[in-house]
Amino acid sequence: MKEFSFIKEFMKPLSVSDEHVVLGIGDDAAVIRLGENEELVVSTDTQVESRHFPVGADYALVVARAIGCAVSDLAAMGAQPLGFTLSLSCPNLNVELARRIAEGVAMGIERYQTPIIGGDTVQGPFTISVTVMGRVEAGQALRRTGAQDDDDLWVTGTLGGSAAALEEIDNTDIGNLSALDQAYWQPPCRLEFGQGLARGIATSCLDLSDGLAGDVRHILQSSGLGAEIDRGRIPINPLALGRVGRDASFELAFQGGDDYELLFTAPASKRQEVESLSLTSNTPVTRIGRLNLNREILLIVDDGNATICTNSGYGHF
Ligand SMILES: Nc1ncnc2c1ncn2[C@@H]1O[C@H](COP(=O)(O)OP(=O)(O)O)[C@@H](O)[C@H]1O
Ligand SMILES: Cc1ncc(C[n+]2csc(CCOP(=O)(O)OP(=O)(O)O)c2C)c(N)n1
Ligand SMILES: [Mg+2]
């Protein structure tokens, strides 16, 4: 069974909204009402050795990246980070490993502007779980739902760099990462941009972890809409393009995953606001397509020819 069927069919029915739970299972994070004006945003993500990060990688890099991947869900909700907890499972623990973990935590705290507030430490296979908490003004959280017919589809940054780096990750020397390696090890985490989008600009938003081809479907499915994406507009990481060429880098950008950029929708009337937010937050942004009424169908337009995309991005199981 696919992870999304498991979540939808078995877990989601157990989650009910009540006066406190504004948003339960199914989005990048849950939203809990605290008072009149504030909501708590909570999300958890687990990283497993050899599945999410290469065997033998420097643990400082692994831990800092895991924090970034988790905080990225707060960016996708337009939330301001409040803190994170770190649950660690390691086969053994010595002073050297402890130092690497502590260095990674310190890097993550600094890079992603989020304090550590707790965690858990157990023996077992290398696994890291990070739970993040953030705040939004009541009713402001960005969701995967909410896109409207004719909305523009936008993406931040460039795509495919992380997957290209991962194809040849042999160097995890923390002091000597290439610019392409950084695309994998240092998720961009668009916090300021996400918070700006939540101030009435975006109609829906998520962060790209499983690849554009798969993740765009979360927006389409939850709004009952389709989309047309202009293949030539997808912003491919130039270093990935240089390394593997046009077609292969397109595949990495489209379905490689691990980009942690934001994918969002906004009405055409908000184009100027998106552009000026991009400037003030120093976040590159590209308009890659438009939503339409063709239920959940993704069309890729290339030189005037349209093809239906059946690719569904990264999946566990
Ligand atoms: N085992 C689980 N039990 C309950 N909820 C889950 C479980 N696994 C995932 N979810 C929920 O399903 C939704 C989608 O999860 P996921 O695809 O991991 O999102 P993301 O890519 O933002 O991390 C989230 O709301 C998440 O909290
Ligand atoms: C060693 C290694 N191989 C392959 C990948 C590619 N990969 C693994 S999981 C994944 C998807 C994102 O992980 P997931 O647990 O689904 O994160 P979430 O969507 O919950 O944020 C990708 C692209 C990787 N990151 N590391
Ligand atoms: Mg997740």
For residue 168, the model assigns a pLDDT of 84
Ligand 1 centroid to 6 CA: how many Å?
10
Give the strand pairing for 226-230 and 285-292.
antiparallel
| 173 and 299 share one domain | yes
| 174 and 283 share one domain | yes
| 188 and 92 share one domain | no
Residue 229 lies in a domain: yes
Residue 114 lies in a domain: yes
How many structural domains are present in the chain?
Answer: 2
If one residue of 25, 32, 218 were mutated to test the ligand 1 pocket, choosing by the most ligand atoms within 8 A of its CB, it would be 25
Q: Which of 68-72, 171-175, 207-211, 245-249 has the lowest mean pLDDT?
A: 171-175
For residue 16, the model assigns a pLDDT of 84
43 annotated as a binding-site residue: yes
From the CA of 25, the nearest ligand is 1
| ipTM, two decimals | 0.98
Q: What is the CATH number of the domain that holds 166?
A: 3.90.650.10
112 annotated as a binding-site residue: no
Residue 39 lies in a domain: yes
Tens digits of per-residue pLDDT, 220-276? 999 999 999 999 999 999 999 999 999 999 999 999 999 999 999 999 999 999 999
Tens digits of per-residue pLDDT, 145-155? 999 999 999 99
Tens digits of per-residue pLDDT, 86-137? 999 999 999 999 999 999 999 999 999 999 999 999 999 999 999 999 999 9
**Domain hosting residue 232, numbered range:** 152-308
For residue 169, the model assigns a pLDDT of 80
For residue 145, the model assigns a pLDDT of 97
From the CA of 8, the nearest ligand is 1
